[in-house]
Structure 1
Amino acid sequence: MKILGVDPGLAEIGYGVIEKDGNSLSQIEFGLISTSSEKSDLERLNVVFEELTQIIKSLEPEQMAVEELFFNKNAKTAIRVGQARGVILLAGSRADIPVFEYTPLEVKQAVVGHGRAEKMQVQQMVKTLLGLAEIPASEDAADALAVSICHCHTESTRNSWSEML
């Protein structure tokens, strides 16, 4: 199964597609969607939608996992990222793929084993779990891969519980 993970933002949106085959995980592609601060927010949101739609068309993920927002400081930034997140959810919905959402705490718990993990610990586990030669240069792309891994682990747990019931 192919899973597209997305780390929302407005300036940079991380994405990562992984393949789950049994208990094995491998990365297919990861990267960034970048938008220019010289463009209006509407133009930037359109770029996010169009580029993510193209990624979905070309890589054909079967499911999509998106990180939920966690902000406690700047309300204006939270609103702008929330708008981008809405566009990201819309792209998944329009592509008719199931979309799942995870908090940063859930992602850290699933990838590292505890919800208070440091960013570097998450990045190191992404590298290890996917057999990458090095940690992705972009923190946003590494976070997107972590969201994909979280979804794989969560789905495995859900399926195990379903089978037991």
Structure 2
Amino acid sequence: MMKVLGIDPGLADTGIGIVCGSGLDICEYAYGNISTSKKEPVAQRLELIYTKICRVLADERPDLMVLEDVFSLEKYPQSGIVLGKVCGVLLLAGTQSGVPLTEVPVRQAKQILTGNGKATKEQLERAVRSSLGAKAPIRPFHASDALGLALIGLFRHR
């Protein structure tokens, strides 16, 4: 039995998904979201994300952490910089906790889970829901993305 923590990083919302199982058999899962306020300075928002993910790592003690790899669009370079900061605190938390970690590019995650590297958030959520056998939609999408990353970690590291 393996427990995998998937994380979809974002400054406003960081999705968290935890999957327990073996190979393709999932016995339990959980998900959530870390939200920060735009009214707070970036440094305080990063500290909140770091503190909460450290708590999740300590409470859940996952065998593996899978983080969505940073990407940047030429049109929005500032977004890539901010996302890099969020990933930095998440990588630090994972490394300090001693949990092995890996990063998966978003297009690769979409390709693995849906067969389409350009799948929409809705298509990805339906694929994750189907893999988990969940009946209700998984929201927010950041949480379903994180669950998808956790599933990839479970499937790859049998």
Q: Report the TM-score, using the length of structure 2 for normalisation.
A: 0.93
Number of the residue aligned with 2:126: 124
Matched with 1:153 is: 155
Spell out the pairing of 1:1-165 with structure 2 (5 A cutoff). Answer: 1-72=2-73, 73-156=75-158
Q: Relative contact order (C-alpha < 8 Å, sep 6+): which is higher?
A: 2
Which deviations, in whole Å up to 9, do the C-alpha atoms of 1:35-82 show, x marking residues without a partner?
111111111110000000001111111100000122212111211111
Q: Which runs of 5+ in 2 are unaligned?
A: none
Q: Deviations over 1:74-127 (max 9, x none)?
A: 111211111011000111101100010000111112211232222211110111
Aligned length: 156
State the identity %. Answer: 31
RMSD in angstroms over aligned alpha carbons? Answer: 1.3
Inter-partner Cα distance in structure 1 for 2:49 and 2:101: 17
What is the rounded CA distance, in whole Å, between the counterparts of 2:20 and 2:121 in structure 1? Answer: 23
Encode CA deviations 1:125-152: one digit per residue, 9 max, x unaligned: 1111011121212010010001111222
Gaps of 5+ in 1: 157-165
SS at match of 1:132: coil
Question: In the TM superposition, what whole-angstrom CA distance separates every residue of 1:18-39 from its partner, at most 9, and x where no partner exists?
Answer: 0122430244320100111111
Counterpart CA distance in 2 for 1:136 and 1:23 is: 19
SS in 2 for 1:117: coil
User: Residue 119 of structure 1 aligns to which amino acid in structure 2?
Assistant: K
Residue 12 of structure 1: CA displacement? Answer: 0.5
CA–CA separation in structure 2 for the residues paired with 1:132 and 1:64:
22
| Counterparts of 1:15 and 1:147, CA distance in 2 | 9
Moved over 4 A (4+): none
